[in-house]
Every structure is written in C-alpha cells, then in structure tokens.
Amino acid sequence: MPDMGMPTSVTDDFAVAEDACAKINLALHVTGQRADGYHLLEMLVTFARHGDRLGFAPADADDFTLSGQFADVLAEDPGTNLVLKARDLLREAAGGAPPVRIHLEKNLPVASGIGGGSADAAATLRGLLRLWGVTLPSETVAGLALKLGADVPMCLKSTPLIARGIGEKIETADTLPSFAMVLANPLKGVSTPEIFRRLVTKNNPPLVLKKTPHWMEAIRTTRNDLEMPARELVPEIAEISNMLAAEGALFTRMSGSGATCFGIFETPVAALRAAERLHAARPDWYFQSTETFAGGA
Ligand SMILES: C[C@@](CO)(OP(=O)(O)O)[C@H](O)COP(=O)(O)OP(=O)(O)OC[C@H]1O[C@@H](n2ccc(N)nc2=O)[C@H](O)[C@@H]1O
Ligand SMILES: Nc1ncnc2c1ncn2[C@@H]1O[C@H](COP(=O)(O)OP(=O)(O)O)[C@@H](O)[C@H]1O
C-alpha cells in the first residue's frame, strides 16, 4: 500500500541504520558527450523520503541479507550487489576493517531511473564510516562514490542539488522546496545504456533555471532529454504519465532513464489519495506517494 514515508523496518534493530532515498531527476539535459562515450548532463535533482533502508552491525564474518518488495530481483545474484562493492571499496580505502553484517530492505524498483542501487551504495559508505568509526577526507569519500557509479556522489548528499559533468560536479539547491509526489512505474526495467544509445541529439540547450521564487514555473521550462527515447522503448511511460495527470498532478515527468515517472501534487493528502486510486486501478504497477526533502535543511 502507498504510504507517506519510511515505515518501521527490520533494520531498526541494527547498530547503525541508513535511509537510501529515491533520487528524482526533476530535470535532465544532455549537453554533450565525453571522449569515452559518457554523456555530459545538467540535472536538477531532489530526493524523496521514500526509499530503501539498510542496517549495519558488527559480525564474526561478512554477511548480506535482503528483504522488501523488490528483494527477489537482487536475490538471484547477491554477490554483484553495489552494497558489497561499496563495502569492499571502503574497507580497502580504510586499510582494512572488521567483518560486518548488512541488511538491505529493497523498497525501490530496480533499474527504474530513481537510482536505488546508487542510493544503496551511498548509504553503505555513510553507514560503514559510522560503524567502523573511520574518518576519511570528504574528497576521498566522493572519489570512492564516483567509482561506484555516476549517481552515487549525488546520493551521498541526498539533498536538493544541481549536478553537472556526469553527475560529479555538484552544487546544492538550497531554495528548492519540498514537493508532494507520486512515483509511478509500470515495472518494466529500462536499460540505461540502451536509452543513451537511442538519443538522436546529444548537444541540447543547457539547464537554465529562471531566478524566480516559483520553482514549479522554473521546472516547467526544463526537460528530461531521455524521456522521448524511453517512451519509444516503453509505451507504458506515456500511459502512466497520463494516469498521473488524470489524478490531478500539477506536473508530470520521467526521472533519469526511466521508467519511473513522478507527479507533483498540491498537497501530501492529494498525493496519498491519488496513489491509492492508481494502485486500485493497476495493482500490478508501482505507485508510491511521498514527499521530497526541501533544500537548505
Ligand atoms: C541517467 C541517470 C541520471 O541520474 O540515472 P538513472 O537512470 O541510472 O537513475 C544516470 O546518469 C545514470 O548513470 P549511471 O548510474 O552511471 O548509469 P549506468 O546504469 O551505470 O549505465 C552506464 C551506461 O550508460 C551510459 N551512460 C551513463 C551515464 C552517462 N552520463 N552517459 C552515458 O552514456 C554509458 O553507456 C554507460 O556505460
Ligand atoms: N542494491 C542494488 N539495488 C538496485 N540495483 C542494483 C543493486 N546492486 C546492483 N544493482 C544493479 O544495478 C542496476 C541499476 O540499478 P538501479 O540503481 O536500481 O537503476 P536506476 O538508477 O536506473 O534506478 C540494476 O540492473 C541492478 O542489477
């Protein structure tokens, strides 16, 4: 059932717990391409209260367990989980660290444009730094994050921001307000490289945010350049966006490379009611009401 935030979790019993909040690309402009093929991006990004949840505790031997709505997808191949990559990378950077038990409650759909894997990797870095009592320079931690994925440095911050490059050049967006939102996904995984391959124009106009106190106005003038190729690949993206709009969303857009779309609603109650109705109409799809964090907190 849709809810407004983080429910109680099995991870609450762990020595250290961390939220891995969903990343929402409010805007994503593709402005060029690097020599190595990676695309240059300019993004306005915020984070939702809803997300995965991780627990960390001392143990006799390393251990990793999974639970949650979307655990099954990852349970097939736990050894390749980004959580373990983050653990191993941090342990190496710290010059060794004791065994640890990690639990991941997987509430976010996988490969869905809201950066669940990146948020889990970032939460692992934050959680293990705390559990192990390790202090590293912030640039070192940011470097480890970027090694784990382009979105991981942003997820490390989990606060509204503008990111450039491939996501590593970050400035906080301190005046961005909180939004009441419904996340909607037809539960069709989307391959990020495939969406980038389908891009026709790679030198689109940059992200220009009008200096206005009305952020919704500013966001309306921006784009997600990956939405058109994603719609061609997954027709349900158009359908689910129309469903959000029909439920009263003030604004809808796809996040990242999809297929998750978000609808911004007037109030948290309006978002909750919309998610309930959408869930009743399509119980096989994913609808989640949530609120995003305000900047400058
Ligand atoms: C599009 C974004 C926007 O926040 O989010 P998601 O859709 O993943 O949530 C990210 O830039 C996703 O970055 P990242 O997390 O590194 O992408 P991956 O899934 O690892 O896919 C990597 C592949 O996608 C292509 N790729 C990715 C990022 C980028 N800036 N240019 C690219 O061309 C490359 O072919 C690369 O090998
Ligand atoms: N903890 C994790 N959560 C989600 N995906 C993971 C995780 N660890 C590894 N992956 C792999 O990373 C890929 C991208 O996942 P994800 O971060 O959910 O994508 P997106 O950024 O598009 O939402 C998936 O195909 C999955 O196999």
What ipTM did this prediction achieve?
A: 0.97
Q: Residue 259: is the preceding peptide bond cis (ω within 30°)?
A: yes
CA angle 190, 157, 84 (to 5 degrees): 60
CA-proximal residue: ligand 2, atom 2 (nearest):
117
Please, which pLDDT band fits residue 8 given cuts at 50, 70 and 90? low
**Is residue 188 among the annotated active site residues?**
no
Ligand 2 atom with least separation from CA of 108? 18
DSSP state of 265: E
- Give the pLDDT score at 6: 53
What span, in angstroms and rounded, lies between the C-alpha atoms of 233 and 175? 35
CA-proximal residue: ligand 2, atom 21 (nearest):
115
What is the percentage of the chain residues whose pLDDT exceeds 70? 97
* Ligand closest to the CA atom of residue 111: 2
Give me the helices (H) in 133-257, please.
138-148, 152-157, 192-197, 215-220, 227-233, 236-246
For 93, the token pair is 């950077």
pLDDT digits (tens, 9 = 90+) for 50-90: 999 999 999 999 999 999 999 999 999 999 999 999 999 99
**Is residue 151 among the annotated active site residues?**
yes
Ligand 2 neighbours, Cβ below 6 Å, are 74, 81-83, 110-118, 120, 192, 256-257
pLDDT at 153 over 60: yes
Indicate which CATH number applies to the domain containing 18: 3.30.230.10
In DSSP terms, 210 is beta-bridged to: none
pLDDT digits (tens, 9 = 90+) for 179-209: 999 999 999 988 999 999 999 888 999 999 8
Q: Which residue is it, tokens 């984070």?
A: 47
Same domain, 269 and 129: no
- Give the pLDDT score at 4: 45
Number of domains in the chain: 2
Same domain, 111 and 179: no
For residue 168, the tally of other CB atoms under 10 A from its CB is: 16
Residue 297 domain flag: no
Residue 4 domain flag: no
Residue 132 domain flag: yes
Domain limit, last residue, from 171, 202, 218: 171
Ligand 1 neighbours, Cβ below 6 Å, are 25, 28, 37-39, 41, 113, 115, 118, 149-151, 166-167, 192-193, 196, 256-257
What span, in angstroms and rounded, lies between the C-alpha atoms of 25 and 258? 10
Half-sphere exposure for 52 (CA within 13 Å, toward CB): 31
Q: Which residue is it, tokens 């998610």?
A: 275
pLDDT digits (tens, 9 = 90+) for 89-109: 999 999 999 999 999 999 999
Q: Name the helix (H) or strand (E) containing 271.
A: helix 268-281
Same domain, 37 and 130: yes
Judge whether 118 and 152 are in contact, CB under 8 Å. yes
Domain limit, last residue, from 126, 143, 171: 171
